[in-house]
Structure 1
Amino acid sequence: MLTIICSSKGGAGTTVVAAALALARAEQHGRSLLLDMCGDSRPVLGMADTDSPGLNDWLGEAHTSGADGLLALGEQATDRLLVVHPGSRFVSGAPRWAELAAALDGCDFPVVIDAGTHFLPDELRSAAGHTWLVTRPCYLSLRRAVRMPRPTGAVVLRDEGRALTVRDVESVLNVPVVATVPVDSAVARAVDAGLLADRWQDLFGRLLPAG
C-alpha cells in the first residue's frame, strides 16, 4: 500500500506526520519504506546527513535500475524502517515517474512518500492507495489546498485559537479528516533531539489511522 503525504504550504508538519506514519506502518507490518522527496526526513529521524545518491538520482532519465536499485539507495532508520532520501538536488532529464510507480506497486510492504509541497505526477497519484493532505485549520493553507488536485483525506494539525474547525476543513476540501493531531511542544522537542523514532508511539500511536 502506497500512502502519499503532502501539503499545500510549507511548515505544516508534513515530514513529521510522514515519518510517524512510516514508523507506525513498520511496527504493524514488520517493514516499511519512507521515500523522502523533500530532504527533511533524515534529521527528523535522528539520522546524519549524507551526500550519497538517492531518489532523484534513481529517477534520472538515463538510469536503468528497478525496484531493487531503489531500495539499495536506502538506509535503515530503525531495524524495520528504510529511508530513501532525495540525493541530487535535481533529476537529470525526464523523470522516470512511471517506473517509480511500478517499482512501488511491486513492494510487498507499506510505502510512505513525504511529498511536502513537491509536484506529484499523475503516475504516483494513480498508484497511491491514499493521498493525505496535512494542514492546519488555516485560511491561507486551505485557500491553496482547494487549487490542488483533491487528496483522498486530510490530517489536521489542531492548534488552539483557530477560528476554523476540523469540520470546516472537511467542508472546504470535501474529503474526510482521517486524523487529528494536536500541536504539542513534546513533538517539537522529540524532533529537535532526533528522538522521534524512539517516541513516536507515545506521541502519535493512537492518533494515526491503521493500515
Structure 2
Amino acid sequence: MTDVLATPWPTVGLSDWLLGEPAHPIDDLVVDIDPTTRLLPTRTPIDLDQVSGERVAILHRWMRDTSAIVLVDAGTGPPAEALLEIADRNLIVTRPCYLALMKGVRSGLKPDGVVLVNEPSRSLNTSSVEQCLSAPIVATIDVHPSVARSVDAGLLTGGHAHITRTTAAITRPEPNRTAVDRWRDLDERRHSPDVDYGMRWRTASSGDEWRVSWNRGSGALYATNRDESVIEGLGTFTTESGVTTALPEWGTHHQDPNGLDWIRQQVEPATITPEFPGPALR
C-alpha cells in the first residue's frame, strides 16, 4: 500500500506486531522518512492489556542498536506503559481543541512535549495548550488549505518533486507568506472558502501549472501557480453559477496546453475586473 506521499506503507503495524502477529523483522515495519529518521506506524489503537513483553524487549534492543532517530506511533489514547519505559521522550500530538485537550488531561498522561497541529480558526493559543497539558510545545504543524487541495487533486502521489513544492509552502516562515496569503489580507472577505476549478491549468506563456479558484466571499475568480508565489485576477462573479456559465465544460479544457488562456478569453467579456494591484501580485 502507498500513502498520499507516495511512501510504501507496511501491511503490518506496530500494534499488530506487539500483540503477537507473525514475527516480521522490525525493519519490515519501518517507514524511512529520511536517512536519519524512521517511523514505526500503528494501524489500530494498542490494547494495553495484551502487549507482548517479549516483543517489547525485542523492540527495545532494536531501537538501542539503530543509529537513526526512531519515532514510535503509539496510537491514540494513553500509550502502553511498556513503551513509555523504553522511550527517550514521550510526545503528544494534538490540536488546540478544547475537547482534545480535556481528553489528554483525563488520560493522566504526562508528556515531555507537545506537537501542536495548529488550526488558525481556533481560539485557544499556545500558552493555553501548554498550561493545560503541563508540557512545552516542541513543534508546530500549521494547517494549510493547500495540503487538502493537493491531496484531493492527487498531486501528492506523483513523486517527491510535488511533495517538495507542497511542503515548502506549508513550512514557509511568516515573513515569506505567499502572494495568495497577502492578497487575502487585503480584504477580509477573501478569507472565505474557495471553489476550485482545477489545479493543473497551463498557459503558453508559462511552464508552471496553475490553480483556478472562485472566492465565495469576494466573488473573485483568480489563478495562482503551484507555490502560490504569483496570483492573477481573472474576473468577478457574484454567484458560483455565474462562473459555471462563463466556463462551460471547463473540465474538457483542463489538460489543454493553453487551457488558462481559454479561461481568460471566456471570462474577459463577461466579468468585472477585480481590484488587483497589477496583473500579478508577487
The TM-score, its normalising length taken from structure 2, stands at 0.46
2:88 partner amino acid? G
Number of aligned pairs? 162
The alignment yields a C-alpha RMSD, in angstroms, of: 3.8
Structure 1 residue 206: Cα displacement: 6.9
Structure 1 unmatched ranges of 5 or more = 1-40
Structure-1 separation of matches of 2:45 and 2:130: 35
Structure-1 separation of matches of 2:17 and 2:148: 32
Are 1:97 and 2:56 an aligned pair?
Answer: yes
Structure-2 separation of matches of 1:155 and 1:87: 20
Q: Hey, what does 2:71 align to over in structure 1?
A: 112
Structure 1 residue 174: Cα displacement: 0.9
> Do 2:37 and 2:71's aligned partners in 1 also have CA atoms closer than 8 Å?
no
The TM-score, its normalising length taken from structure 1, stands at 0.58
Structure-2 separation of matches of 1:190 and 1:145: 31
> Do 1:105 and 1:127's aligned partners in 2 also have CA atoms closer than 8 Å?
no
Q: Structure 1 pair 76/175, CA: closer, same or farther in 2 (3 Å)?
A: closer
Structure 1 residue 56: Cα displacement: 4.5
Structure-2 separation of matches of 1:128 and 1:58: 17
Residue pairs, 1:16-165, within 5 angstroms:
42-47=2-7, 52-56=11-15, 58-61=17-20, 69-74=25-30, 86=42, 94-95=51-52, 96-117=55-76, 120-148=79-107, 149-165=109-125
Structure-2 separation of matches of 1:177 and 1:89: 24
Query: Over residues 189-210 of structure 1, what are the superposed CA-to-partner deviations in whole Å (9 max), with x where a residue is unaligned?
Result: 3445362853375134879xxx
1:71 partner amino acid? D
Query: Over residues 39-76 of structure 1, what are the superposed CA-to-partner deviations in whole Å (9 max), with x where a residue is unaligned?
Result: xx9524324666x44545543548667xxx21144466
Q: Hey, what does 2:213 align to over in structure 1?
A: none
1:70 partner amino acid? I
Identity %: 29
Secondary structure class of the residue paired with 1:43: coil
Q: Structure 1 pair 190/106, CA: closer, same or farther in 2 (3 Å)?
A: farther
Q: Structure 1 pair 125/90, CA: closer, same or farther in 2 (3 Å)?
A: closer
Query: Over residues 157-179 of structure 1, what are the superposed CA-to-partner deviations in whole Å (9 max), with x where a residue is unaligned?
Result: 22223221110001111100112
Q: Structure 1 pair 108/184, CA: closer, same or farther in 2 (3 Å)?
A: same
> Do 1:71 and 1:84's aligned partners in 2 also have CA atoms closer than 8 Å?
no
Structure with bigger RCO (C-alpha 8 Å, 6+ apart): 1
Q: Structure 1 pair 101/120, CA: closer, same or farther in 2 (3 Å)?
A: farther
1:115 partner amino acid? A
Structure-1 separation of matches of 2:117 and 2:12: 33
Q: Which of 1 and 2 has greater Rg?
A: 2
Query: Over residues 55-109 of structure 1, what are the superposed CA-to-partner deviations in whole Å (9 max), with x where a residue is unaligned?
Result: 45543548667xxx21144466777776655589999x75222322232222111
Structure 2 unmatched ranges of 5 or more = 175-282
